[in-house]
Amino acid sequence: MSPEENASVESKTDRRDQEITRLVEGESLVIEPGTMILKKYKVLQLLGTGGMGSVYKAVDTESNTGMEYAIKFLNRQQKNDAAMRRFEIEARAANKLDHPNLIKVHESGLLPDGQPFFIMDLVEGDSLADLLSKHGRLSVDKATNIFIQVGFALSYAHSNGVVHRDIKPSNIMIQSVDDDKTLGSVVKVVDFGIAKLTGQDEFNQQTLTRTGEIFGSPLYMSPEQCLGTGVDHRSDLYSLGCVLYEALTGAPPLVGDTALSTMLKHQGETAVSLKEASMGIEFPAQLEIIVSRLLAKDVENRYQSAQQFTSDLVSFDCGQASMISAPEAKTIFIPRPQESMTFSREIKLLAAAVIFLCGVPIGYFIPRAETPAAPPQAGEQIPPVEPAKIEQTLTELANTPGYFSTFGPGRDERTFNFPEFSIGKISFVKNKSKVARGKVLSGPKFHGALFTPGAELRKHPELLDKFRADDLCGLNVSSPISLTSFIDVSLSVDSLILHSLRIKSLQSIDISDSKIRPETLRKLDTLPNLQNLWAARADISGKDLAQLQVLSRLEVLCTEHIRGFTPGIKKIAEGNSINYLSQNDSEFGLEQMRLLSKCGSMVSLDIQKNRGVTDECIAFAPANLENLTISGCPVTPKCIPALAKLKRLKNLHISLNGWSNEDLQKLRHALPKAELNP
């Protein structure tokens, strides 16, 4: 481009910036579709407005990636010193946070006219407020799945000195929502617009909160927040309790005729139980206690950290006897009834192991849906077990010869005899997940079970020795990194793996979201039948993972969010046994696809959210692919000829941002038998 042409472009850009400035005279920033921001982002549409600013959907046009983002601007009437400082804090807070359950901020700053902005990931899906508006309330399973992830997000943010201060249903987004299916979805906590950087912010609470200026939503504000006094991370936990209460019952815990009366209720009234609020619906006693503790008026009686809350909710979800310190400081032990166990990755593991056992291809046939366990027998009561007795029983059991399982009663059946309290979950083919407690029958045609250790067994990993060498086909020892800072070191994944090595029938292992030592990881090579490895977001390096010899014979591998894994891809390609590979948000690109191009066994490939996956990359996709996921990758209509060569393709997940109707018709014509999922 000549200097004259470049000057002309600059002049047009300057005029465009001036147009933006002239459009902010009203109460909120108004930007017309087509406006260019930073000469790079093209505004597509307004997504919403709030008390602090406006959010627009925009597409990156500079590098022809077609990636879409959300851009947030500060409202013009908010553009005063205090508001500008708050917006600056929001940008600083969001930029320092990087967690799967939080929005990622890519860029922030000021436009030429001084308009503050930041560019963040675009969340596709519905807010919790949308779901509650549509369904009224959520089931216990769905609410538990969502709020465990919210707990992870807040735990991470709080550990980094950031308090949200406006937790409410509209600030909790659920991605990949399909009607009523929230199980297995990814939850994102959004809008740290009034977050305070605790201990690091040069502006204190009084500086940013003047008389009559209180931040938050009255329906979900903590008592101390309603008073306008200093708040800390425990205020977020009270707000979280209000939202969880509403998700379960369909209504906030305290509602007055006005905002002021609602704030007064938060200071002086106690919410009724979940059962009373829902007109008689029975809730597990442990869940009632968790919610009650979140809603404690005195911050000292509340959960003292999001970690503690998440730990209790995870234990509840796993059916564990959980120790909960109630507000009155009494220790209560209440096991969760066996009414609705959920498992997503567990079912995938079990299905994968058994399908491979029977010699059937897997790929996307691994189920993704949550499957609830059978409800308890009518009148069944599960008495609590004191922790001292639990510890004594487990110690004695570890020192007693024998196995959990016996053969029979029928041919090809197996009976497992577990302690009277839960030590985890166990699943069998074509059977629903069961709590590993008491006598558990496998049913006919036993081919191995999938076992997920609970907290009690994690304290005694040697109890895995009580399984016979052919009892298990799958083991899920994943333990989210978000929990590792407050679980005992004895719950180490390393110990569990080391005690599982004698179970030679293991075909599937899940170490996702876990910390594991490299020397322990290498021990997986000693499992002769291991074919499926799930290591998404595991705290291991790509180099350590690539050193595994078992890679050359794996048929299913998930290494999402793991960098530096190219040597591992090479080893997988050389083995040519891989059937399903997931490398989401990693460093997958042209080099890696070239390595896999000759993999005739490859049926399913999930490489979404990889910026290196371009049109040229698609040209080297394995020819036998039946399922391909490239959502969030910078592919354009130029890749259509390459996709057309994939004659066996049945499912294509692809982002069609910037594609015209004509392009879409060409794609459908090129892949007449494939189901397109934009």
Query: So what's the pLDDT on residue 68?
Result: 85
**Can you tell me the distance from the alpha carbon of 342 to that of 53, in angstroms, rounded to the nearest whole number?**
39
Say if CB 157 and CB 97 are below 8 A apart.
Answer: yes
Q: What is the mean pLDDT of residues 412-417?
A: 91
**Can you tell me the distance from the alpha carbon of 526 to that of 225, in angstroms, rounded to the nearest whole number?**
56
Query: So what's the pLDDT on residue 538?
Result: 85
User: Is the pLDDT confidence value at 315 over 50?
Assistant: yes
Report residue 267 as tokens. Answer: 């200071």
Residues 6 or more apart whose CB falls under 8 angstroms from that of 301 comprise: 293, 327, 328, 329
What element of type H or E holds 117? strand 116-121
**Can you tell me the distance from the alpha carbon of 32 to that of 111, in angstroms, rounded to the nearest whole number?**
16
The separation between CA 464 and the C-alpha centre of its own chain, rounded to angstroms, equals 28
Find tokens 């038998």 and name the residue: 673
**Can you tell me the distance from the alpha carbon of 94 to that of 105, in angstroms, rounded to the nearest whole number?**
6
Of 649, 656, 655, 654, the C-alpha closest to 673 is 649
Query: So what's the pLDDT on residue 64?
Result: 64
Residue with the larger pLDDT of the pair 546 and 115:
546
C-alpha angle with apex 466: 464 to 469, nearest 5 degrees?
A: 85
Percent of the chain residues past pLDDT 70, beyond the cut: 74
Of 4, 360, 431, 52, the C-alpha closest to 208 is 52
User: Is the pLDDT confidence value at 15 over 60?
Assistant: no
Rounded to 5 degrees, φ, ψ at 544 are -65, -40
Report residue 477 as tokens. Answer: 């020892």
**Can you tell me the distance from the alpha carbon of 430 to that of 134, in angstroms, rounded to the nearest whole number?**
33
C-alpha Rg value of the chain to the nearest Å: 27
Say if CB 456 and CB 319 are below 8 A apart.
Answer: no
Residues 6 or more apart whose CB falls under 8 angstroms from that of 93 comprise: 162, 192, 195, 197
**Can you tell me the distance from the alpha carbon of 52 to that of 213, in angstroms, rounded to the nearest whole number?**
13
Query: So what's the pLDDT on residue 384?
Result: 61
Say if CB 342 and CB 183 are below 8 A apart.
Answer: yes
The separation between CA 44 and the C-alpha centre of its own chain, rounded to angstroms, equals 28
pLDDT band at 50, cuts 50/70/90? low
Q: What are the C-alpha distances in Å from 62 to residues 69, 155, 624?
A: 13, 36, 34
**Can you tell me the distance from the alpha carbon of 272 to that of 281, in angstroms, rounded to the nearest whole number?**
13
Q: What is the pLDDT of residues 420-437, one digit of tens each?
A: 988 989 998 767 778 899
Query: Structural domains in the chain?
Result: 12-121 (3.30.200.20), 125-335 (1.10.510.10), 338-509 (no CATH), 541-678 (3.80.10.10)
Of 152, 151, 141, 153, the C-alpha closest to 180 is 141
**Strand ranges, E, within 607-664:** 627-630, 651-654
pLDDT band at 211, cuts 50/70/90? very low
Catalytic residues: 166
User: Is the pLDDT confidence value at 78 over 70?
Assistant: no
Query: So what's the pLDDT on residue 381?
Result: 45
Of 479, 482, 518, the C-alpha closest to 98 is 482
Percent of the chain residues past pLDDT 90, beyond the cut: 39
pLDDT band at 348, cuts 50/70/90? very low
Residue with the larger pLDDT of the pair 498 and 60:
498
Query: So what's the pLDDT on residue 93?
Result: 65
Report residue 643 as tokens. Answer: 């996709």
**Can you tell me the distance from the alpha carbon of 633 to that of 607, in angstroms, rounded to the nearest whole number?**
8
For residue 181, give the DSSP letter.
Answer: B
Query: So what's the pLDDT on residue 166?
Result: 87
Query: So what's the pLDDT on residue 250?
Result: 92
Report residue 542 as tokens. Answer: 């790509």
Q: What are the C-alpha distances in Å from 429 to residues 346, 403, 434, 438, 557?
A: 12, 21, 12, 20, 21
Q: Name the 3-class secondary structure at 24.
A: coil
Query: So what's the pLDDT on residue 585?
Result: 84
User: Is the pLDDT confidence value at 324 over 60?
Assistant: no
Say if CB 500 and CB 525 are below 8 A apart.
Answer: no
Residue with the larger pLDDT of the pair 305 and 492:
305
Poorest-pLDDT segment among 23-32, 608-617, 625-634: 23-32
Residue with the larger pLDDT of the pair 602 and 161:
602
Report residue 246 as tokens. Answer: 């509403």
Q: What is the mean pLDDT of residues 116-137?
A: 86
Q: What is the pLDDT of residues 225-238, one digit of tens each?
A: 888 777 889 999 99
pLDDT band at 214, cuts 50/70/90? very low
Q: What is the end-to-end Cα distance of the chain in Å, rounded? A: 36
Report residue 580 as tokens. Answer: 């399903």
Helix axis angle, 233-249 relative to 128-135, nearest 10°?
20
Q: What is the mean pLDDT of residues 517-529?
A: 94
Q: What are the C-alpha distances in Å from 99 to residues 54, 151, 153?
A: 24, 12, 7
Q: What are the C-alpha distances in Å from 333 to residues 207, 325, 382?
A: 44, 9, 12
- Asked if the peptide bond before residue 567 counts as cis, ω within 30 degrees of 0, the response is no
Poorest-pLDDT segment among 120-129, 201-210, 478-487: 201-210
In the Cβ-directed half-sphere of 500, how many Cα atoms lie within 13 Å?
A: 35
